[in-house]
Amino acid sequence: MTSLVLGPLLRYVDATSATIWVEASTATTVRVTAGGREAVARTFAVHGHHYALVELTGLEPGSRSPYTVLLGDEQVWPSNDPVFADFPPSVISTLEPGKPLRLAFGSCRVSVDHDEEGTEKFGVDAMRAYALFMAGITESDSEDPGERWPDLALYLGDQVYADETSDEMRAFIERRRDPQQAPWYELKDYEEYAHLYRLAWSDPANRWLLSTLPSAMIFDDHDIRDDWNTSWTWRQDMEATSWWHDRVVGGLASYWVHQHLGNLGPEERHADELWKQISSHDGPGELDVSDALDALADRADQHPETYRWSYSRDFDSQARLVVVDSRAARVLDPEHRSMLDEGELMWLDALLQGDVDHLLIGTSLPFLLAPGLHHIESFGEAIAEGAWGPPGMVLGEWARKRADLEHWGAFERGFRDVAEIVLEVATGRRGRAPRTITFLSGDVHHSYVAEAWPRDGLAASRILQAVCSPIRNPLPKGMRGFTALAAARATGAVARLLSLAGRVRPEPIRWAVTQGPWYDNNLAVLELAPEGIRMWWNAGSVVDGVTERPALTRVATLDAIG
């Protein structure tokens, strides 16, 4: 009998349509019903796994409809498994035109048990704490009406850790191969990635959350490997190994299936050449796209300009969300080094426009890192590229790889290009200036808010950076003092002098950390209120020693601005 292996995940949802992702145990048809509507899709195969993406249309705007999933003729969701007994039915909540957008966001979440041992080591999973709160199983210490239901969750990278594996993942690896051989206990191929996603998304609370809260996602380095695409020499070191090719192909192929497809709206998805093959298949049996998907992943790795992982969507005239790939699209050639290749930058340039109330830019790496860190990274890039001659190049490259100097500041050309585009939007040279331009990011395992201003002149838009990291993977305590120091204005000034010594030109914007940093495991929520933009950060806290049912606690709040 066919069973539900993973999912359902509620992915792209707009005012009248919804996309539901599932993995089944065998080839089958998947039927979804909600709000008096029904849609059916056949599974497609990837390396022995069976997936379907079901597109349900004709829903009522602003409606909330319980839904069912059938594999063949067997209903598999809602599940009759007792672990879901306390959870309400999964629903599809379509967008209501004109309703202020509410968006949850965060990054960096390890998949370990939620027992006492896992909680002691990694803290409470903020995503799971929010799931229990949304389900009405636990409460918040600062609940306001309607807070339970965001319109969308944006996961900004490191949903899976391919290089820092849990005990459960290690046990799976040991059953397949000898972990004393490369790549050791890191992931090797697609099959191991598929199991890692299963571990990440199978906890009952998180599985229910993913089934009822629409989600958008983008990768970061740990989805492939720590410091992925730091520099040209990093890349050459990896490609010289015997295992890197299978890792990156397996990682990008599994990302396409598990995360990327569901990010896209119907129009974008149906423009994807591989999805065209899947959706148009009408032959006998299940379509196996393993070879075609591996070829796509290999090509996207070797020639990133041939495939775009970034995407965008509009929410009426109130907001545009642009989610930028800041990992795979990098140009690593030392002569043309940039965070974004030419095609990616042109795509972003076309989308960063005014005439919306709020412009939201999702990028896994903070665009506005604490100034002290940013200037150190730009200095490191400058000397690695020859500002201090050959000895400095060796020192700079060593420091870049050793100290993770690979954020936007370490790709100064790309930083400057995007900053100049943002200033054009903020000063009204690309249509009516938005009330706010807000970067949403993760990666750095601490959370904060920064604000930026033009170096010369004034902007009509408030330019913000909001970081929520980690969801569950706390920064080591020994690093917390360093990040707090880097956020200080005095540190930024000293580091700026250092970057000037590396002949780094002044950036077109100035910025400062205005709130934070704080170090809790968090899931943040952004709301476009009539008076501007509000944000708050939520953590889970253990009550009466019961680690499995943490309460939701408000960590920080940013009052409405804009």
Separation between Cα atoms, residue 84 and residue 204, nearest integer Å = 6
Provide mean pLDDT across the span 201-218. Answer: 98
Would the pLDDT of 105 be above 80? yes
pLDDT band at 144 (very low <50, low <70, confident <90, very high): low
Provide mean pLDDT across the span 234-248. Answer: 97
Separation between Cα atoms, residue 521 and residue 122, nearest integer Å = 9
Provide mean pLDDT across the span 308-326. Answer: 96
Question: Would you list the domain boundaries of the chain?
Answer: 1-96+190-217+219-307, 310-467+476-518
Digit-coded pLDDT (tens) for 150-198: 999 999 999 999 999 999 999 999 999 999 999 999 999 999 999 999 9
Give residue 479's pLDDT.
85
The percentage of the chain sitting over the pLDDT mark of 70, rounded to a whole number, equals 99
Would the pLDDT of 532 be above 60? yes
Nearest-10 Cα torsion for 381, 387, 390, 391: -80
Go through 485-524 and write b for each residue having 16 or more CB atoms within 10 A of its CB, e for each that does not.
ebbeeebbeebbebbeebebeebebebebebbbebbbbbb
Would the pLDDT of 501 be above 90? no
Q: Which amino acid is at 485?
A: L
Digit-coded pLDDT (tens) for 24-49: 999 999 999 999 999 999 999 999 99
CATH topology of domain 1-96+190-217+219-307: Immunoglobulin-like (2.60.40)
Digit-coded pLDDT (tens) for 385-434: 877 888 777 877 877 777 778 999 999 999 999 999 999 999 999 999 99
Separation between Cα atoms, residue 71 and residue 373, nearest integer Å = 51
Query: Quick one: which of 216, 8, 206, 218 has its CA closest to 126?
Result: 206
Give residue 559's pLDDT.
84
Which backbone phi and psi does 412 adopt, to 5 degrees? -60, -35
pTM value is 0.97
Would the pLDDT of 127 be above 60? yes
